[in-house]
Amino acid sequence: MDLKSGYPYWAVKNGLMHAFPKLEADTRCDVVVIGGGITGALISYELVTAGHEAVVLEQRDIGWGSTAASTALLQYEIDTHLTDLAERFGEAPAVIAYSACAEAIPMIQTLARDVRDVDFARMQSLYYASRRRHRRALEAEFELRQRHGFDVELLERDAMRERFGFDAPCAILSRLGGRIDPYRFTYRLFARLQKQGAAIHDRTQADSITANNRGVTVRTKTGAVVRADHLVVAAGYASQRWLSESVARNRSSYAFISDPIDEAELGVLADTMIWESARPYLYLRSTGDGRLLVGGEDDAVDIPARRDKRVDKKARRLIRQVRRLFPELPLQPAYSWAGTFAETEDGLPYFGPHPEHGKRVHFAMAYGGNGITYSMIGAGLIRALIEGKAHPLSGLFGFGR
């Protein structure tokens, strides 16, 4: 499936950063990972660093699927409110999920600093009420987060105008957030893994999976065979092809990025990502080269040809929405695109084995608005499962929840 439309900025900016060979001969390893996007990169890095021998298979070029279309807002805030998760699963599990996402952002920061040159920066996150009727839900959300130690501040309408320059009934300001270039981060992680001896193969499509209690066999389209103790399916939205049941629904999200804007004119947007309580929601964040990245206008279209035709119209709508908030901002769009993403019913990801394939096949479905944060958590979770260790989120993020 073609997972993106238009001109995703990361691929245009970075180009094809590194060449990886196709898999042309049979091989053996500890863990085979299907998927060469950011989820596969983070999981592979975790496993190789822990001493596991890994082989990675990607059917496209590395990072060329949904990773290239990601807008990469790094948040601990899940699309599903903490209050809603607490009502559904209980307060303690909900807080564990939010806390794990909060812990993941400094972990990404540390890894980004080690890999270097991936446009990582810490940012604030401003979550504002789009409508007056959303105020009560945001107040309840703020109270629950504050009670459990999250660094948040509730801003009233006057404070919103004074500090951020636009009108909203209220907002939650979180100190913990970040940004990154997901495409560059993915390439640099895989290039480092290759230097460390991991076998990274792009343009290599997995065709069949056979698993039993002793191990896993993956056969590629060209007939090469990989035998491993464990398999991790981290193929993004294509992962669902390996399951007979549907665990998420595919949707499309639209985005554009502006020409560079002077820091003085960018103002609060230089270090604050902004998103709203409406669903689907508008979101904005800056880049290291002073551009404004804007996304939203999500819809249920996941047919590439139909999505392609909507990119320009959706970008124009997003421009109008930003100008309503910041009418003085010199906003000149440079590139616009769309990408497929998946939503689960509860907004949580799926990591771990599915009964359909047994305990040696692990799925890494980092679905939702903060997929990179989920992927960072999932890297440790998948490693724990492979090593036979307990993990506090194996139940809540598993298929049995």
Is residue 4 pLDDT above 70, yes or no? no
pLDDT in tens, 121-170: 999 999 999 999 999 999 999 999 999 999 999 999 999 999 999 999 99
Q: What is the pLDDT of residue 108?
A: 98
Per-residue pLDDT, averaged over 8-15, amounts to 94
When pLDDT is cut at 50, 70 and 90, the band that residue 3 belongs to is: low
3-class SS string, 200-218? EECCCCEEEEEECCCCEEE
Q: Tokens 């939650």 correspond to what residue?
A: 172
Q: What is the pLDDT of residue 144?
A: 98
CATH value at residue 51:
3.50.50.60
pLDDT in tens, 262-317: 999 999 999 999 999 999 999 999 999 999 999 999 999 878 888 889 999 999 99
Q: What is the pLDDT of residue 2?
A: 62
Alpha-carbon distances of 369 from 58, 89, 347, rounded to whole Å: 23, 20, 8
Q: What is the pLDDT of residue 341?
A: 86
178, part of any domain: no
265, part of any domain: no
Q: In this prediction, what percent of the chain has a pLDDT beyond 90?
A: 93
Q: What residues contact residue 81 under an 8 Å CB cut-off, 6+ apart?
A: 137, 141
pLDDT in tens, 80-110: 999 999 999 999 999 999 999 999 999 999 9
211, part of any domain: yes
CB 354 within 8 A of CB 361: yes
Q: What does pLDDT average to over the chain?
A: 96
Burial of 316 (0-12, 13-18, 19+ CB in 10 A): middle
For residue 327, say if its preceding peptide bond is cis, omega within 30 degrees of 0.
no
When pLDDT is cut at 50, 70 and 90, the band that residue 369 belongs to is: confident
Per-residue pLDDT, averaged over 159-182, amounts to 97
Residue 8 belongs to what domain range? Answer: 4-69+183-247+347-386
When pLDDT is cut at 50, 70 and 90, the band that residue 399 belongs to is: very high
Residue 107 C-beta-side C-alpha neighbours within 13 Å: 20
CB 318 within 8 A of CB 71: no
64, part of any domain: yes
pLDDT in tens, 206-220: 999 999 999 999 999
Q: What is the dihedral of CA 349, 385, 228, 220, to 10 degrees?
A: 0
CB 350 within 8 A of CB 365: yes
Q: Tokens 């139909």 correspond to what residue?
A: 306
224, part of any domain: yes
The DSSP annotation for 57-107 comes to E-SSSTT-SHHHH---EEES--SS-HHHHHHHH-HHHHHHHHHHHHHHHHH
Residues 25 and 22: their CA atoms lie apart, in Å, by: 9
Q: What is the pLDDT of residue 34?
A: 98
Per-residue pLDDT, averaged over 377-385, amounts to 98
Is residue 57 pLDDT above 80, yes or no? yes
317, part of any domain: no
Alpha-carbon distances of 266 from 23, 57, 64, 76, 134, rounded to whole Å: 46, 41, 30, 24, 27
CB 255 within 8 A of CB 369: no
Residues 396 and 349: their CA atoms lie apart, in Å, by: 9
Per-residue pLDDT, averaged over 372-390, amounts to 98
What is the CB neighbour count within 10 angstroms for residue 330? 12
Alpha-carbon distances of 227 from 57, 147, 288, 388, rounded to whole Å: 13, 49, 42, 20
Q: In this prediction, what percent of the chain has a pLDDT beyond 70?
A: 99
Q: What's the domain count of the chain?
A: 1
CB 61 within 8 A of CB 202: yes
Q: State the maximum Cα–Cα separation within the chain, in Å, rounded to a whole number.
A: 65
Q: Tokens 């940004």 correspond to what residue?
A: 179
20, part of any domain: yes
What is the CB neighbour count within 10 angstroms for residue 203? 18
